[in-house]
Structure 1
């Protein structure tokens, strides 16, 4: 649904500026507490450094799918932006999912 997505450049910039960042070898997570909502909003950014459009879209799909399948385990009320690093190119779903869950754990928003 649209309300669960970060879409506008200004929304991404707010998360970058005011949020805190956590990273590992594949991904960077920016997290910002958005006091006004009781749900999470999620955005993905994959730069051209990662590869051509086919590669970037595959990485984006893997990140979005691993978020979708694990979003029920997260605390609510955050704006989240995930940035793919160049190392994420050519990785399979399990690597991406493990990396994303590791970031959520580091950020302290995992309800496990």
Structure 2
């Protein structure tokens, strides 16, 4: 990740959940909050309901890769938390990626939209 880092602390996640704006679609839920930094911070949550460890890690990698490939088009200065829904374990990278881009467009985070 060139322009971003990971959200790691529980308090950071809680702040985004409490004060951020959320939206959801079939596979993902996205919370977004301005962070007043010149970079984005990305947090990914995949609960045990989604599946066992290899499945959860696969979903996490798919989401992270979707972010990485679109990073140059995403506006800077936001904390973004992605929550994987249970159905996300059954789908391909393309469906996760289009779901991710759809949520970015909803939050007006893409530079070209």
Q: TM class by shorter-chain length?
A: over 0.9
For 1:80-99, list aligned pairs within 5 A.
Answer: 80-99=80-99
> Which stretches in structure 1 are left out of the alignment for 5+ residues?
none
> Which stretches in structure 2 are left out of the alignment for 5+ residues?
none
Listed one character per residue, the Cα deviations across residues 74-110 of structure 1 (whole Å, up to 9, x for unaligned) are 1110000000000101211100000000000000111
| TM-score (structure 2 length as normaliser) | 0.94
SS in 2 for 1:75: coil
Q: Does 1:73 align with 2:70?
A: no
| TM-score (structure 1 length as normaliser) | 0.95
Listed one character per residue, the Cα deviations across residues 41-92 of structure 1 (whole Å, up to 9, x for unaligned) are 0010000010111111100000001101101101110000000000101211
Rounded to whole Å, the distance in 1 between the matches of 2:68 and 2:108 is: 18
RMSD of Structure 2 on Structure 1 (CA): 1.0
Structure 1 segments of 4 or more deviating over 2 A? Answer: none
